[in-house]
Amino acid sequence: MARQFAQLLTMHTCSGGTALSPRPTGGSGGGRAAVRATVGAYAVRIGVSLGYLTEAVKCTTGHTSGQLIREAEIREAKRLLAATGLTVSQVAREVGFADPAYFCRFFRRETGLSPGDFRRQSDRDPLPPAASPGPEGITAFAESSPSTGPERSA
């Protein structure tokens, strides 16, 4: 089950939010609606309860499911900001945020930099290929953990 969560998380963040059933967050304009992943959506997709997924991920990684989702969103946003010419609004939408202003607050809270500052910094100091996005904690827990998660009591 931990592997399924890791795979879905990676697919969702790298596919612009299309790996899970869409949960439109509103917004206007053409194209698909921005979709942010929720722990509940992952639980439904895997076929377990929200509580079970939360417990399994926490026991396996030491991090909450929400933390791992936020880390994956930030990783994808950083990749898009550093490697593409997309505007901050377009990056926000690709990562699943319908409101670019909220995305900017989220990004600053998680990284300490605004998206624009991060892009300017990455233009000056590009990341080496080895530091490119990868599911840091996710891969480690998916490879090292049994797929059963925590013990269920009857």
Over residues 28-55, the pLDDT tens digits come to: 444 445 778 899 999 999 999 999 999 9
Domains of the chain: 2-144 (1.10.10.60)
Residue by residue, DSSP assigns 5-60 as HHHHHHHHHHTTS-SS---B----SSSPPPB---HHHHHHHHTS-HHHHHHHHHHH
Amino acid code (one letter) for 18: T
Over residues 16-34, the pLDDT tens digits come to: 554 454 434 444 444 445 7
Tally the residues of the chain: 154
The residue with tokens 């809270």 is 109
Strand partners for 24:
35
- Of residues 114 and 13, more confidently modeled: 114
Over residues 88-144, the pLDDT tens digits come to: 999 999 999 999 999 999 999 999 999 999 999 998 876 555 444 444 444 444 444
- DSSP structure class, residue 125: S
pTM: 0.70
